[in-house]
Amino acid sequence: MVAPEQKTRLRCRLLLLLGVATNCRHPQPPRVDAAVSATAVADAESLPPAPNPAPALPPANCTLPKLKLTRVGDGFDQPVYVTAAPGDSTRLFVVEKHGLIRILRPDGTVQGKPFLDVSANLNIPNEQAEGGLLGLAFAPDFATSGRFFIHHSVKKTDTLPERVSVLEFKRSADDPTVADATPVREIWWVKHSAWNHLGGMLAFGRDGNLYIAVGDGAGEPSEAPNLGRALGKILRVDVNKPQTPPPGNVAQAGADPFIWDWGLRNPWRFSFDRSTGDLYIADVGQKTKEEINVEPAGTGRRDYGWDAMEGDICYPVDRTCTPSGVPPVMAHTRADTGSIIGGFVYRGNALPCLRGRYLYSDFESSRFFSFVWDGTAATDRVELTADLNPGAAIAQKIASFGEDAAGELYLVTFATGRVYRIDPK
């Protein structure tokens, strides 16, 4: 039997992983950086005109299919992400918070030797903190280059502070089932205590640049509106020239030149629609609202409002304000969500009538939601809990979704260490 204090510690650890406001929070250092105005970015260098295709909507006259979760792997230690390498139709890569990336084979077995082990370098201040290994992205040309990138929190060294960092690694030339243990280089970092609000997502856009989600560090006031700091932002980096900001980022005196979007609290998971290139950002709320933002491909330079707004309302909730920033396309109340988990737009082959629908979940309630983005609004909103997780009895504490190479969708459960695939019932 688990002792009550052990249950409390586990619950705190789970809540803090996603940045939910709780009394488990460690005190944060005061804000010390001077704020840079986030109200004007008119001088930002423009991207080349981006194609704006009509949204790839679900097929006409199609009925939303019945769905189920199929367990395809288990035995993982606090998994936080699952993904596949481009073109690899046989393996899934499961990211564990405490520093391992493990390979899940099609038959459900797990490769004995980890693909990568960075456990020795992680900064996880204590068992309730949310630091660790949080994200993984393979280069689009991984099949030939072997390059991939991780998002993690790093211990203090003699020359660098505690920080959130993105490292580049390479697949072993001698054994394609493992990576070289020594990183190629650190392509980006920012000072961070690793206690709370780290973000954690990495993904390549169709422009070939790497997008990085960074939480606001849970300081008060938040660094999210401060263009002089990387916290509370989506960043955009050219991994071939990581010291040179890509054209199209925020370009304003005093601004961090790698900022793509700002005004975010804890964008734990975002994703790109592989058909349209649209960016879907799930931002974990503070006390009242959880939000989903949809950004047309190639847009960027958007303020999503935190900490003047929480979802679609003023923050704090009892404050009267003029709404600011780009409003979310979906804002859930705490009646049905507690810590939003961003998912993906389905683009696989097994469920044709699901194509074009964005699926996401909630860490606290284990409920599943969906909608179709028609280019201007979130339409055809359908809750999928009754199909996928009736009574929240199958999957609890969903930490992340993921895609395989064919566009089929998966998810990982933090507490039980399982991997599920979304299948037709």
Residue 31, pLDDT score: 33
> Pick the residue with more confidence: 218 or 31?
218
The mean pLDDT of 60-73, rounded to a whole number, is 94
CA atoms within a 13 Å half-sphere pointing along the CA-CB vector of 369 = 22
Reported in sequence order, the residue ranges of 328-408 that DSSP labels E, i.e. its strands, are 330-333, 340-345, 357-362, 368-373, 378-383, 398-403
Report the C-alpha gap between 41 and 53 in whole angstroms: 26
Residue 182 pLDDT > 80: yes
Geometric angle at alpha carbon 382, from 380 and 387, rounded to 5°: 145
Residue 145 pLDDT > 60: yes
Residue 54, pLDDT score: 54
Amino acid at 200: G
The mean pLDDT of 374-402, rounded to a whole number, is 95
Residue 50 pLDDT > 60: no
The mean pLDDT of 379-393, rounded to a whole number, is 94
- Cis omega before residue 323 (within 30°)? no
Is the distance from CB of 223 to CB of 31 less than 8 angstroms? yes
Residue 373 pLDDT > 80: yes
Q: What is the pLDDT of residues 256-286, one digit of tens each?
A: 999 999 999 999 999 999 999 999 999 999 9
pTM for the full predicted model? 0.89
Q: What is the pLDDT of residues 196-214, one digit of tens each?
A: 999 999 999 999 999 999 9
- What does the DSSP 8-state code read for residue 58? P
Residue 48, pLDDT score: 39
Residue 5 pLDDT > 80: no
CA dihedral 180, 186, 191, 194 (to 10 degrees): -20
Residue 102 pLDDT > 60: yes
Residue 43, pLDDT score: 37
Residue 34, pLDDT score: 35
Percent of the chain past pLDDT 90, that is, above it, reads 79
Residue 239 pLDDT > 60: yes
Residue 56 pLDDT > 80: no
Residue 21 pLDDT > 80: no
Is the distance from CB of 310 to CB of 285 less than 8 angstroms? yes
- What does the DSSP 8-state code read for residue 120? G
CA atoms within a 13 Å half-sphere pointing along the CA-CB vector of 241 = 5
Geometric angle at alpha carbon 77, from 75 and 79, rounded to 5°: 100
Report the C-alpha gap between 192 and 292 in whole angstroms: 25
Report the C-alpha gap between 272 and 352 in whole angstroms: 19
Residue 33 pLDDT > 70: no
Q: Which residues pair with 169 in a beta bridge?
A: 148
Residue 96 belongs to what H/E stretch?
strand 92-96
Q: What is the mean pLDDT of the chain?
A: 89
Report the C-alpha gap between 30 and 101 in whole angstroms: 35
Reported in sequence order, the residue ranges of 207-329 that DSSP labels E, i.e. its strands, are 210-214, 233-237, 259-262, 269-272, 279-283, 289-295, 302-303, 309-310, 313-314
In this structure, whether the domain defined by 73-338 belongs to CATH 2.120.10.30 is answered with yes
Closest CA to 283 of 341, 226, 327: 341
Q: pLDDT confidence of 186, banded at 50, 70, 90?
A: very high
Amino acid at 395: A
Geometric angle at alpha carbon 85, from 79 and 87, rounded to 5°: 145
Residue 361 pLDDT > 50: yes
